[in-house]
Amino acid sequence: MASSIGLLGLGWVALTGLSIGFVALVEWRARQLTARYATSQSATADLAQPGPRYGEVRLATFESRKLDVDHEVSAALVQLRDMVMRGRVELQVVVQPGLGVWADPCALLQMLLGILSQAIERAAGSALLVSASWHGGRMQLTVMDDGPAGNPAALMGRLREVEQCAALQGGTLEIECRPLRGNKVVLRMPGTGAPEELLADDYVVDELIADDDPPTGMLGAT
């Protein structure tokens, strides 16, 4: 009789232990699923946020570094290659060798995409000149299109994020709308300086972007 009671006691203890273990397992699994669901919801919310379009730069902490201007311009134009072909744009690129710029790489790419994509739209069926040189102690990128002269305030409004991003990195953005000569966008940023032997070549770029006609409108600080 005593042995039977003992066996029943052991059985009850065993069942109790299994029950407690099962409850603990269920609670642990519930916490795991809850954490996974929360992570999934967070990821979904992040994906739902619209990413920046061309020219829309999310203002954040910049990590400026020395970048090669020729490489950065080429990378942006590669992304816009189909747009250039669809618009039948005659593209000319002149970048001074050895030219560098201090900027955040991600921010600079979005800035270039914003400036270039809008210029390509305006230059559909005509020509577009992209030039970069060491000018006045800064890196100067000039984008000129042969499209109809636009409204300077409207063009600056479309590039407002680019202007703000440039300012936060010590740069400026200037827009000119010229009668019968299209539009010109000038981005100036801190640079690393071109080798002295290359400074004599500035006249090549300056000659290409020379402008004899007075602008109908100009916005931005020099």
Let me know if domain 65-219 sits in CATH 3.30.565.10: yes
Is the pLDDT higher at 182 or at 21?
182
Question: Tens digits of per-residue pLDDT, 164-210?
Answer: 999 999 999 999 988 777 899 999 999 986 555 454 444 344 444 44
Cβ neighbours of residue 174 under 8 Å, at least 6 residues apart? 185, 186, 188, 218, 219, 220, 221, 222
Res 150: pLDDT: 82
d(CA 147, CA 194): 32
**Res 20 pLDDT > 90:** no
Rounded Cα distance between 84 and 76, Å, is 12
Closest among 45, 57, 46, 164 to 114, alpha carbons compared:
57
Give the pLDDT of residue 41: 41
Per-residue pLDDT of 83-93, as tens digits, reads 999 999 999 99
Q: Is the pLDDT of residue 68 over 80?
A: yes
So what's the pLDDT on residue 57?
52
Task: Say yes or no to pLDDT of 159 above 70.
Answer: yes
Nearest to 220 by CA among 182, 148, 167, 168: 167
Q: What is the pLDDT of residues 86-120, one digit of tens each?
A: 999 999 999 999 999 999 999 999 999 999 999 99
Kindly state the average pLDDT of the residues 32-56.
Answer: 43
Share above pLDDT 90 across residues of the chain, in percent, rounded to a whole number: 47
In the chain, where the domains are located: 1-49, 65-219
